Homo-oligomer: A and B are copies of this chain.
Amino acid sequence: MDSEGDVALSTDLYELTMAAAYYANNEESQATFELFVRSYPRNRSYLIAAGLQQALEYLTRIKFTERHIEFLRKHPNFVAVKEGFFEYLRNFKFTGNVWAMPEGTVFFTNEPILRVSGPIIEAQIVETNLLSIVNFQTLIASKASRVVESARGRGVVEFGARRAHGPESALLAARASYIGGCIGTSNVLAGYKFGIPTYGTMAHSFIMTYDSERDAFDRFARAFPSNPAFLLDTYDTLEAAKTAVSLGVEPSLVRLDSGDRYSLSRKVRRILDDAGMKSTKIFVSGDLNEYSIDQLTKRKAPIDFFGVGTELVTSRDDPALSGIYKLVALEREGKMAFKVKTSKGKFTVPGAKQVHRRISRGMIQEDTIALDNEKPPPNTKPLLSEVMRTGQLVTNIPTLDQSRERARSELQSLPAEYRSMHGSVKAPVRLSTRLQRLANSLWKNANR
């Protein structure tokens, strides 16, 4: 899908109807919106921020073309909208300021990870696409970190393109999985676009193309003499392993894609070892997730690599991140107002905020969410930094490898209870006294 030039329309219609209403009302307030996650996906107790690079690219590129404007002008909702608004769209650029947690940052519920301030129309229109970008990659980076943790040091390769939610989703899932700790992906485009290492062996169809498994292995080895990799489970895994070791060439790896991966990996390892092929790696795939990998590595199955597809790229056990983007402050005619929503179960915390993290002896102790102009609590570091000012990038975006390294090192500072595979524990997060007081008073007096 070629939607690059059409990214301005990648938004919910209500963002544009609101924009028209703001325009009609000469609404020139400066608004601040914050993106945060209200609750964890199932069994999670932390998240890993991802998607900021695509979010910033989007903010830099958003532009309404004449064809877009023509489309809107004819839309039934816009028939009564005055020409001035379309003229406004014609000149639209994102000119706001953005603060964000760098990709790879470990964060918790209710912490703002992205803060957008600017003319209210601009800050509003970008809501939908920012959420779509950040929610998905954060979901997958977080899931990947769980899978990688369950692998206990063995390499995990993202394998899920065919079950991802479309080709772009596959590409972004590969990126987010890499941030979350995967060593690479099967997705060639992710290698090409993002420099992520790509992995691949052969499919069952290659074996089935030839009259015998031996013939198929032989032919593959001839094409890749230095590093042939064989898929063993097309017909019978152990027979295939015996064939593989009898070819006179040491495979770089063998892959098992079905059956009882624990007992098969042990038996295949023995066949390889008995044939003196101790450096041949065992690569296991097929509907794996953090729960099944945890069992395999706990039992010390002799597996060197895991390929994880569907379960990773769809975050199958909980496939949506409930990130939201809420108005928290408004500056109109020089006066600042804090904003809250008090819908049942959906209270928001007012004001532009910063998150201060206290780390002691290398471990995360507590995060304090405070107003952005509060004095930081002692011995803390702020998690949000300025990334865009008046629509321009003001920082070097970290490389993908730097983001991956950040996630790795932050996860090491995360106490074990938060990294548990099962159940979620309360986020180590508090509001500053001043923020709590402000929130209480606004919640009580929510405007009608």
Q: Which of A13-21, A362-370, A377-385, A424-432 contacts B (4 or more CB under 8 A)?
A: A13-21
B330 touches A163 (CB 8 A): no
For A343, give its contact among B173, B202, B235, B345 (CB under 8 Å). B235
B188 touches A18 (CB 8 A): no
A166 touches B163 (CB 8 A): no
Interface residues in A339-382 (C-beta closer than 8 Å to B): 339-346
For A71, give its contact among B191, B243, B346 (CB under 8 Å). B191
Q: Do A200 and B448 form a contact, CB below 8 Å, given A18-B205, A33-B205, A168-B168?
A: no
Cβ contacts A220-231/B at 8 Å (1 or 0 each): 101111110000
Taking the complex as formed, is A132 at the interface, i.e. its CB lies under 8 A from any CB of chain B? Answer: yes
| Nearest residue, chain B, Cβ from A18 | B206
- Given A205-B326, A258-B346, 20 other A-B contacts at CB below 8 A? A1-B171, A3-B168, A13-B188, A13-B191, A17-B202, A21-B202, A22-B209, A24-B219, A71-B192, A75-B198, A127-B162, A128-B161, A132-B170, A133-B166, A137-B166, A165-B169, A165-B173, A235-B447, A239-B448, A310-B322
Taking the complex as formed, is A434 at the interface, i.e. its CB lies under 8 A from any CB of chain B? Answer: no
Please name all residues of chain B whose beta carbon is closer than 8 Å to the beta carbon of A321 when the two chains form the complex.
Answer: 163
CB proximity of A290 to chain B, nearest CB, Å: 16
Taking the complex as formed, is A97 at the interface, i.e. its CB lies under 8 A from any CB of chain B? Answer: no
Taken together as a complex, chains A and B put the C-alpha atoms of A45 and B109 apart, in Å, by 37
Question: Would you list 29 pairs from A and B whose C-beta atoms are within 8 A, ordered by A residue?
Answer: A1-B4, A4-B4, A6-B192, A10-B188, A13-B186, A13-B199, A14-B200, A18-B202, A24-B222, A25-B222, A71-B192, A77-B224, A124-B203, A124-B205, A128-B162, A129-B167, A132-B166, A163-B320, A163-B321, A164-B165, A165-B173, A169-B169, A208-B327, A208-B330, A208-B339, A208-B340, A213-B447, A258-B344, A319-B319
